[in-house]
Chain A
Amino acid sequence: MITLPKDALSAASLTGSFRAGGTDLQARRARGLHHGDVIELRDVPGLNTISPGPTGGLKVGALTRIATFAHHADVRKGYPGLAAAAAGLATPAIREVATVGGNLTQEVRCAYYRNPNLVCLKKGGDACLARGGDHFLHSCFDQGACAAPHPSTLALGMLAWDAQVELADGALLDAAGLYGDGTNPRTTHRLTQGQLIVGFNLPAPAANERSAWRRVSHRNNAEWPIVEAIVRVVFDAAGQITLARVALGGVGNTPLRAVAAEEALVGGPLTEARLMAAGEASVKTASPLPMTRWKLPVVVTCVQDTLRDLLTLETP
């Protein structure tokens, strides 16, 4: 069954699964991984715009398409690392259809989850077969029973800029509120029936900040990350780093901040030595699975390369 609510509040009152672009949902439904009623958001107005937030920053409607978001002048100007991440995720045709809200709440790409014949905690099963099976592309920060890395790239932006999602009832959730700490293996986010994301609120960027994104994957394009990073560094007038964010994707069951790497950056200028140390620190709390230890040097390199990109950007 399908319903087509005309506003967000009535959408939130319905039972079923919200469908925005449908790029993930339809693939799962076609493989028999998802059943039940669809709440089609096509006719919900006003959720596909990007507008200034009340205290600076941007209010991004949840139904904004990834391509629109990635190429929006204000996003590119204020949040270049996030804009680059959005422009580099998936494929052009997916980005034209998939939405910001959908990207934040999509399901894991784990082959065990996606194969209808295999048991998985996220499908109600009693074990994670990947953990004892083939998991060489899975998490290397082991947070909970599910070994699959979180799939959302834009979620890294939530960590880097302390962004929040806004729900239809006005509630605001930060990354921890939306994703938890990775200990619950059953879900990829903590939203429950009736909680509909209507917006993605980005606080105003700092006066003097730089950001960048990089993804390491086996093939060059259109592949889920071995690791990806958004780094954001805020400088004071003397060029000293006052705030740093290193957000990692592809490595944990939730999007993750490499806090030790951030600490290694703050308090001095961005130098080669400093960024190398930050990279090394980024895996300080890593807890690789038997087959994912190889990812650690890749994470280190990815963080260092992304930070190094900041050096070549023009002074903000």
Chain B
Amino acid sequence: MNIPSRRGFLGGVIALGGAATLPLRADAESVAKSGTPAPADLAGADTVRVNTQVNGVACAETVGADESTLSLVRERLGLTGAKLGCGQGACGACTVLVDKAPACACLLPAVALEGREVTTIEGFGEALHPVQRAFMAHDAMQCGFCTPGFVMEGAAFMDRWRAAHGATEPSDAELAEALAGHVCRCGAQVGIRAAIRDACAGRFDGPEKEAPRYDARAKVTGAAKYTVDVMLPGMLVGKFLRASTPHAEVVSIDVSAAEALPGVKAVKTFVMAGAPIRYEGQALAAVAAIDEATARAALAAIKLELHQRAPVISAETALAADATIIFPGGEGAASASEAPVMKAPWAGNLRGPTETNLLAKPKRAAKALAAARAGEGQLIEARYTAHNQAHSCMEPHAALARWDGDTKLEVWLSTQSVDDMADALCERYGLERANVRVRADHVGGGFGSKAGVDQEMTTAVDLAKLAGAPVKITFERWEELIVGGNRPEASVNIALAADADGNFGGLDAEAYNLNGAAVGGSTGLVLRLLYRSKNKDVRDYDVLTTTAPGKPFRGPGGPAGLYALEQAVDEIALKRAEDPITLRKRWDPNPGRQRLYELAQASPLWRDRDAQRGEGRVRRGVGVAAAAWPYFLSKGTRVELIGRADGVFVARCACQDMGQGSRSALSWTLAEALGVPRSQIEVQFGDSDAPRGPASAGSRTTPSIVPAAEDAAKQLTEELVELAEDLFGVKGAVMAHGGVDHDAGRLTWAEILARSGERRALGRRRRDDDGYYFATDEFGWGKAWPGAVVVVALEVDTATGRVRATDGWMGLAAGRIMAPPVARSQGLGGFIQGLSYALYEERRLDPKTGLQLTTNLEDYRIIGVGDTPNLEVAFDETPLDGVRGGGAGLAELATIGVAGAVGNAFAHATGVRLRSIPLRPDRVLEALRQ
């Protein structure tokens, strides 16, 4: 861990972006050139003077034994393009070049830089490296947090490649190997691979082109600022003391020694004697101190006495007759859901069933199943199990709070909702809305884990108040993996029947959601979304365990629920010896998916699937799955559009872009609505001072902001048409592309605005024509049903148990697509995340202590570039009826169906149905052996 000195933090306050502003010391250059090592002797010292060059400028710093190169460039020099991702050399977010070779700056001691040259992403300058231009053109990014690291590695690789091979294309395997040290959580691997390949081949040696993504340039240059990058004068480091045991009772907690440590400015406790500890990582106390080392020392000085209790980590132990009850009386459990938690009975650690049978026809389902059990039609009864997945955003949860007196509060937060968080802070601290500002210029991924009021925010605010100074809390990777958020493990017992005619007969499903210390699992509910009007009896149960509370994760319940349902449907099709797509076409009334089924069935991938299975060691299989997700929106969304006198249109909304491309959705649609190039659109997000914006949760950002922005554009252009007549005295002015046509010619918006001066309009997210299933003032559940169909091809090495996805196709029918290249990236990202979930990721716990074993990005496996297959995303852009703006969001739809398709592809390849994921080699071999 980087242990910057207090001086280090102060030094980082001024962002030293350009070479000219780097500190240049007289002695540095001569020492570096002469090769004389910095003074140090065998007696040892606490610090060493290091002379190095950073981005071409000499730099002399006194560093400790453990200070990292990353700390030096970020904290001391303010070069924040390189990020701390995992702290272990596994993710590559910190990559810099040392003597032109890539290195993990988080592990490289600054001491080692003596006489060497460091290049950070900022050192590439404004001209841009071809790899940067290629990343922009290929949209090889989403949240952008990992992008500088990928670019550094890619640039170093390209330079070496060109020197050895000229302007030729490296193979996928060579690219995979070159990028092996990098993790992209959003799933931009396809674009990244293509970008570096094309840069190597010389296709980006020419001038920079406009990127489809609004903030691509900021991301490839490292200029994009995330919460972790914000540094304020006098800022303190906040840290949590977290439970290192999953289940206990606090006997005593004594923070006096921590408070007495020099440099400790505030201490806060969350538990007192008698309080329960219900999961590893539960926050017990927090400190604010002048630097990281002091904060750690303070945590170590807290005296804690616990009465240990038995961990409860599996459904078996949780439901055993003698199980320790984690929430006696069912009081106090958090919610793993973003929807309101429905009432349900408790029985020990079991909560449920949650009724989800409104209009589901459970009696008819039971009748159909009884008929099938009596031999009519086909029946499948099975249990499907999906594991626990960590959100593991590349930017960890982070909050920086600054008070101005007792009434004004400013918070920088890695959040999915600046607006909701500002509301929450007002309520919690009794502040005026005008005096609270929440900011998130860039957000390094969220996936649902940053949508709520979380402890890092409230604690940073509390500590800042206590300390009288700004406090920043940044999760370490182990914290992110343990308590940063997870998708609950789930088991689904399914009975599914087809009637004698091969129609959908009935479904009975019982889902057990292992949400950890939380309730509100919704895996079963998801089974209502597909084959929507059919006969079903669906029940959800929560099984409480002593693990970190689950959080909403990109389609909560979706991947596990559809993994179960879509495999069961596949099994019925197999029993009927029927093409699984043909069966779905009969069962699934959704018009969007009907069109996608046609496309999928016609694709060579599907058509040739039986011919390519193979009988040897490596088997190849192709599987399909369907996906459905509701369409949500934030009704209260407002977008302000400002036509500036210089002809630039500025859109303002208290929205945020965590990588999904919400800024781009506005820049594309506004450019179209106004008839101006995208370069004339400026999108200002990430600030709660702007007009009401949506939370980026429930796939509702785009269908909320785009109609509001188009409404603003309509108002503003109507005003400009009138102004054209008033100010220029023209007659017959009518709106035209980029301005107005009038009897005597044409005026551009810029010409009108130059004369009129700045003009503003506030757009509203107007009501959908068909109304809503459910709505509040802010929230709406619209009456459209976007759909997806996923096809996955994979190979199974029956000798090693390795499963490798080779190809994939995803059709998305979500209506109008606002910014196609960026939407494609989101589709690919969902696809890749789904593959990662089905094939590699898995939280693992020690069965005895209940402690989490996957606490770093080496043990917690996220899909790499080398595991990412060829993928294709197709959009069916038939507008969704009744949806204002014509399109719904894609985020969740694009990921929830993938695991089911993987499961079906595995069964197709091997003839063996594996009803649990991930498809680990040990599990695969075991299944094949039987």
Partner of B44, one of A1, A10, A136, A222: A1
Q: Does B846 contact A (CB under 8 A)?
A: yes
Decide: A92 and B153 in contact? CB cutoff 8 A.
Answer: yes
The segment from B60-68, B120-128, B502-510, B650-658 found at the interface with A is B60-68
Residues on B with C-beta less than 8 A from A14 are: 42, 44
Partner of A302, one of B88, B103, B800: B800
Decide: B864 and A26 in contact? CB cutoff 8 A.
Answer: no
Q: Does B89 contact A (CB under 8 A)?
A: yes
Expressed in whole angstroms, the Cα–Cα distance for A220 and B799 within the complex equals 16
Decide: B176 and A221 in contact? CB cutoff 8 A.
Answer: yes
Residues on A with C-beta less than 8 A from B95 are: 93
**Shortest CB–CB separation between residue A274 and chain B, in angstroms?**
18
Residues of chain B whose beta carbon lies under 8 Å from any beta carbon of chain A: 1, 37-38, 40-48, 64-66, 68, 87-90, 92, 95, 98, 101-104, 106-109, 111-112, 114, 153, 157, 176-178, 180-181, 244-245, 280, 478, 799-802, 804, 840, 844-849, 851-856, 858-859, 861, 863-867, 920-922, 925-926
**Shortest CB–CB separation between residue B154 and chain A, in angstroms?**
11
Expressed in whole angstroms, the Cα–Cα distance for A37 and B41 within the complex equals 14
Given A3-B40, A94-B104, verify A220-B845 contact (CB < 8 Å).
Answer: no
Partner of B111, one of A1, A40, A109, A295: A40
Partner of A3, one of B43, B102, B922: B43
Given A93-B92, A118-B849, verify A219-B101 contact (CB < 8 Å).
Answer: no
Residues on A with C-beta less than 8 A from B68 are: 26
**What are 13 A-B pairs at a CB distance below 8 A?**
A1-B46, A3-B44, A4-B41, A10-B42, A23-B104, A92-B180, A93-B103, A94-B89, A96-B102, A133-B847, A133-B849, A219-B840, A295-B922
Residues on A with C-beta less than 8 A from B244 are: 116-117
Expressed in whole angstroms, the Cα–Cα distance for A299 and B90 within the complex equals 25
Expressed in whole angstroms, the Cα–Cα distance for A91 and B177 within the complex equals 8
Decide: A94 and B181 in contact? CB cutoff 8 A.
Answer: yes
Q: Does A223 contact B (CB under 8 A)?
A: yes
- Top 7 nearest A-B pairs (CB, nearest first) are A91-B181, A220-B866, A221-B180, A2-B65, A222-B180, A111-B853, A4-B40
Decide: A301 and B800 in contact? CB cutoff 8 A.
Answer: yes
Given A109-B858, A221-B864, A294-B925, verify A2-B46 contact (CB < 8 Å).
Answer: yes
**Shortest CB–CB separation between residue A94 and chain B, in angstroms?**
5
Expressed in whole angstroms, the Cα–Cα distance for A3 and B45 within the complex equals 7
**Shortest CB–CB separation between residue A53 and chain B, in angstroms?**
27
Given A93-B153, A96-B103, A219-B864, verify A133-B846 contact (CB < 8 Å).
Answer: yes
Expressed in whole angstroms, the Cα–Cα distance for A163 and B845 within the complex equals 39
Residues on B with C-beta less than 8 A from A294 are: 801, 921-922, 925-926
Partner of A93, one of B104, B802, B853: B104
CB closest residue in chain A, given B846: A133
Decide: B859 and A111 in contact? CB cutoff 8 A.
Answer: yes
Given A42-B112, A93-B103, A220-B867, verify A301-B846 contact (CB < 8 Å).
Answer: no
Which of B47, B157, B799 has the largest number of chain A CB atoms within 10 A?
B799
Decide: B867 and A219 in contact? CB cutoff 8 A.
Answer: yes
Decide: B804 and A220 in contact? CB cutoff 8 A.
Answer: yes
**Shortest CB–CB separation between residue B350 and chain A, in angstroms?**
25
Residues on B with C-beta less than 8 A from A6 are: 37
Residues on B with C-beta less than 8 A from A91 are: 89-90, 92, 180-181
CB closest residue in chain B, given A298: B800
Decide: A93 and B848 in contact? CB cutoff 8 A.
Answer: no
Decide: A37 and B861 in contact? CB cutoff 8 A.
Answer: no
Residues on B with C-beta less than 8 A from A56 are: none
Expressed in whole angstroms, the Cα–Cα distance for A3 and B848 within the complex equals 42
Residues 111-163 of A at the B interface (beta carbon under 8 Å): 111-112, 114-118, 129, 132-134, 136
Q: Does A97 contact B (CB under 8 A)?
A: yes
Decide: A37 and B92 in contact? CB cutoff 8 A.
Answer: no
Expressed in whole angstroms, the Cα–Cα distance for A96 and B499 within the complex equals 63
Given A2-B111, A5-B42, A134-B846, verify A219-B104 contact (CB < 8 Å).
Answer: no
Expressed in whole angstroms, the Cα–Cα distance for A26 and B920 within the complex equals 30
Q: Does A286 contact B (CB under 8 A)?
A: no
Contacts A38-B66, A92-B153, A221-B865 aside, 9 further interface pairs with beta carbons under 8 A come to A2-B40, A23-B108, A27-B88, A93-B92, A97-B108, A114-B856, A216-B802, A218-B802, A221-B180
**Shortest CB–CB separation between residue B851 and chain A, in angstroms?**
6
**Shortest CB–CB separation between residue B838 and chain A, in angstroms?**
13
CB closest residue in chain B, given A19: B109
CB closest residue in chain A, given B47: A2
Given A112-B846, A220-B867, verify A92-B922 contact (CB < 8 Å).
Answer: no
Which of A90, A118, A221 has the largest number of chain B CB atoms within 10 A?
A221
**Shortest CB–CB separation between residue A29 and chain B, in angstroms?**
6
Q: Does A8 contact B (CB under 8 A)?
A: no
Decide: B102 and A38 in contact? CB cutoff 8 A.
Answer: no
Q: Does A75 contact B (CB under 8 A)?
A: no
Given A27-B107, A96-B101, A218-B920, verify A117-B92 contact (CB < 8 Å).
Answer: no
Which of B111, B177, B180, B849 has the largest number of chain A CB atoms within 10 A?
B180
Residues on B with C-beta less than 8 A from A30 are: 1, 66, 87-88
Expressed in whole angstroms, the Cα–Cα distance for A31 and B481 within the complex equals 14
Task: Produce 1/0 per residue, A270-291, CB < 8 A to B.
Answer: 0000000000000000000001
CB closest residue in chain A, given B617: A301
CB closest residue in chain B, given A30: B1
CB closest residue in chain A, given B87: A30
Which of B68, B478, B846 has the largest number of chain A CB atoms within 10 A?
B846
**Shortest CB–CB separation between residue A135 and chain B, in angstroms?**
10
Decide: A118 and B867 in contact? CB cutoff 8 A.
Answer: no
Given A1-B45, A298-B801, verify A115-B853 contact (CB < 8 Å).
Answer: yes
**Shortest CB–CB separation between residue B546 and chain A, in angstroms?**
14
Partner of A224, one of B65, B104, B107, B858: B858
Expressed in whole angstroms, the Cα–Cα distance for A118 and B852 within the complex equals 10
Decide: A42 and B111 in contact? CB cutoff 8 A.
Answer: yes
**Shortest CB–CB separation between residue A305 and chain B, in angstroms?**
8
Decide: A115 and B851 in contact? CB cutoff 8 A.
Answer: yes
Given A22-B108, A219-B864, A221-B177, verify A297-B799 contact (CB < 8 Å).
Answer: yes
Given A1-B45, A91-B181, verify A22-B112 contact (CB < 8 Å).
Answer: yes
Decide: B863 and A23 in contact? CB cutoff 8 A.
Answer: no
Expressed in whole angstroms, the Cα–Cα distance for A116 and B296 within the complex equals 14
